Amino acid sequence: METQHPPIYVTQPSLPPLEEFTPYLKQIWESKTLTNGGPFHQELERALCKHLGVKHLALFTNATIALVTALQALRISGEVITTPYSFVATAHSLLWNGIKPVFVDVDPNTLNLDPSKIEAAITSHTTAIMPVHVYGHPCDVEAIQKIADRYNLKVIYDAAHAFGVQREDGSVLNHGDLSILSFHATKVFNTFEGGAIICRDAKTKNHIDHLKNFGFVDEVTVVAAGINGKMSEVNAAFGMLQLKHIENSILLRKGIDANYRRQLNEVKGIRCLNLSGETIANYGYFPILIEAEYSLSRDQLYEKMRENNIYARRYFYPLISDYPMYRDLPSAQRSSLPVAVRASEQVLCLPIYPALQQFEQQRVIDLIRSI
């Protein structure tokens, strides 16, 4: 039976000791600067650029506002090709800008947007492609960029899961015109709530900074119909503290990931998604696919876990294209998205977070194996 406070969650926020945060709060109180690009805000932007290996980064109050603003910054309109296999904020950001999402299917191995399906969806109204690095697994960025260059399209990556993810050529965040990170409490790196836009040049960063502050350039000059997307000093200070612990946090996640793989790889009907060999991952999620050979369906296993107070997550289910505001779009027909449909009916994300104890993880594994 479901309990109000289950002992094992799919994820938990990474919280450093409270006493470590006290000096940061004291500095904020003494400076009396709470927001509007204060000292911690500026420091965190610089620190994240260095840590992530990117040139320019603009902090935001959350990743959804960052996505909405990114589309504004590049003046995207018309139609944007995107994936149905993501969190709803990906497509919602398009609707908020009056843009029509055009869904195409995903790759069966990565569950990222399938480049081979993109060209057939391009019309005279297409202005951009918005792929997602699902679970932090990098998209086929070269193939996507070739298509974008051929048709003169912008590329905006929803990189909500991709903090710190590296390919052999460096940070995955350096691909596309813009990349958007999420610093939500459930993410590998969090600022309670927060997000960021990564861009290539100072001019674009300056424009984005105006857009996230109502369009203000100075006290009497407004240059765009901007929004209030600024990150507060408290959130930025927490981000500075989180950065001190991030490497150890990812190392702990890596160990949990390895243990799942070691014990689940031989279970018939359980498929673990594999990372590309050249990827430096952040181990933010551990998705498995429940295939026909397993004794239970995905939903049966999900319910069995809930009965045992293990709160795994069917992430992403339903598909974005199944929700009422999208399902009447021609591109949302399930018959056109067979890989995404199948994945959404098979996927289950298992608990993974730095504080997950070995005996807790073993309880999850034993339940899966016992069935």
Class of domain 18-241: alpha beta
pLDDT reported for residue 171: 98
| HEC profile of the chain | CCCCCCCEECCCCCCCCHHHHHHHHHHHHHHCCCCCCCHHHHHHHHHHHHHHCCCEEEEECCHHHHHHHHHHHCCCCCEEEECCCCCCHHHHHHHHCCCEEEECCECCCCCCECHHHCHHHCCCCEEEEECECHHHCCCCHHHHHHHHHHHCCEEEEECCCCCCCEECCEEHHHCCCEEEEECCCCCCCCCCCCEEEEECCHHHHHHHHHHCECCEEECCEECCCCCECCCCHHHHHHHHHHHHHHHHHHHHHHHHHHHHHHHHCCCCCEEECCCCCCCECCCCCEEEEECCCCCCCHHHHHHHHHHCCEECECCCCCCHHHCCCCCCCHHHCHHHCHHHHHHHHHEEEECCCCCCCHHHHHHHHHHHHHC
pLDDT reported for residue 352: 97
Q: Kindly report, residue by residue over 236-281, the tens digit of the pLDDT.
A: 999 999 999 999 999 999 999 999 999 999 999 999 998 777 899 9
Global pTM value? 0.96
pLDDT reported for residue 271: 97
pLDDT reported for residue 1: 42
* Stretches in the chain below the pLDDT threshold 50: 1-6
CATH 3.40.640.10 placement within the chain: 18-241
Q: Kindly report, residue by residue over 317-340, the tens digit of the pLDDT.
A: 999 999 999 999 999 999 999 999
pLDDT reported for residue 278: 81
CATH 3.90.1150.10 placement within the chain: 246-370
pLDDT reported for residue 13: 82
pLDDT reported for residue 12: 87
**What CATH architecture does domain 246-370 belong to?**
Alpha-Beta Complex (3.90)
